[in-house]
């Protein structure tokens, strides 16, 4: 568990959707940056391509992004792991063709005071489900898949696998209607005790901001592929 849970809780709040934050030209620059960056991971099993936003690929975009986020959440530091030169990574681009499963992006250093994470859609189709439920451990993929739970040989920056969430919340069956509508890719038993706070329908130019302690996942609604930029902050 994080050592500064009370400090983290003081910073928590409701998810926010900021509309019309980026114009068409700025979004095109983000997409060009995505095309220019080297591929970090191409997970063919999950059919997802990940690219780290490395420093010095576009100092103008770095400044633009930092200032827009600061206007919304106040002072923050980046918390997106490091590259091979020990420089901060500014975020993570993901191109996915399948929904991303239930997880929490609570970081890998339990001494840190984790803060907010942001999501910028770079394609118009897709949605993200943020739950009311919170978790104060490390970054974790929550699953009841026995094969996934056996994975312990984790590389730098990989999430722990756990079913611990099923013991944290009241054993309340998940809403079947919401399961059919948004989360058909998840086994309903894996969602026991969870309650949806917000379903963020992707919209070009907008940004979603929410606490890094919140459980979340993609919805099952994908039209072909989707590309998003996620970044993580701390105090």
Return the DSSP state at 230.
E
- Calculate mean pLDDT across residues 104-124: 94
CATH number of 5-234: 2.60.120
- Give the model confidence (pLDDT) of 18-69 as tens digits: 999 999 999 999 999 999 998 887 665 567 888 989 888 888 999 999 999 9
**What token pair was written down for 195?**
């309650």
Instruction: Quote the pTM value.
Output: 0.91
Domain ranges in the chain are 5-234
Query: What average pLDDT does the chain have?
Result: 90
Point out which residues pair with 104 in neighbouring strands. Answer: 140
Question: Do 172 and 193 meet the contact criterion of CB atoms below 8 Å apart?
Answer: yes
Query: How large a percentage of the chain has pLDDT more than 70?
Result: 97
The three-state DSSP-derived secondary structure of 48-99 is EEEEECCCCCCHHHHHHHHHHHHHHHCCCEECCCECCCCCECCCEEEEECCC
- Give the model confidence (pLDDT) of 146-202 as tens digits: 888 888 777 766 788 999 898 898 889 999 999 999 999 999 999 999 999 999 999
Minimum mean pLDDT among 21-35, 74-88, 92-106: which range?
74-88
- Calculate mean pLDDT across residues 83-105: 86
């Amino acid at each position: 568990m994080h050592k500064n849970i009370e400090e983290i809780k003081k910073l928590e709040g409701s998810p926010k959707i900021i509309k019309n934050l980026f114009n068409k030209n700025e979004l095109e620059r983000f997409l060009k940056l995505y095309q220019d960056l080297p591929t970090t991971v191409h997970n063919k099993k999950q059919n997802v391509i990940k690219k780290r936003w490395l420093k010095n690929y576009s100092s103008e975009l770095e400044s633009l992004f930092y200032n827009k986020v600061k206007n919304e959440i106040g002072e923050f530091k980046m918390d997106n792991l490091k590259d091979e030169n020990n420089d901060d990574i500014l975020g993570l681009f993901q191109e996915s063709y399948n929904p991303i499963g239930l997880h929490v992006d609570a970081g890998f250093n339990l001494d840190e005071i984790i803060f907010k994470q942001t999501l910028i859609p770079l394609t118009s189709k897709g949605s993200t489900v943020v739950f009311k439920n919170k978790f104060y451990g490390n970054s974790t993929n929550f699953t009841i898949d026995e094969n996934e739970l056996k994975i312990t040989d984790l590389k730098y920056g990989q999430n722990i696998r756990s079913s611990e969430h099923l013991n944290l919340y009241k054993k309340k069956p998940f809403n079947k209607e919401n399961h059919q509508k948004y989360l058909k890719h998840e086994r309903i038993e894996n969602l026991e005790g969870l309650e949806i706070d917000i379903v963020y329908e992707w919209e070009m130019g907008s940004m979603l901001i929410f606490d890094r302690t919140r459980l979340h996942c993609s919805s099952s609604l994908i039209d072909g592929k989707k590309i998003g930029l996620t970044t993580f902050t701390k105090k």
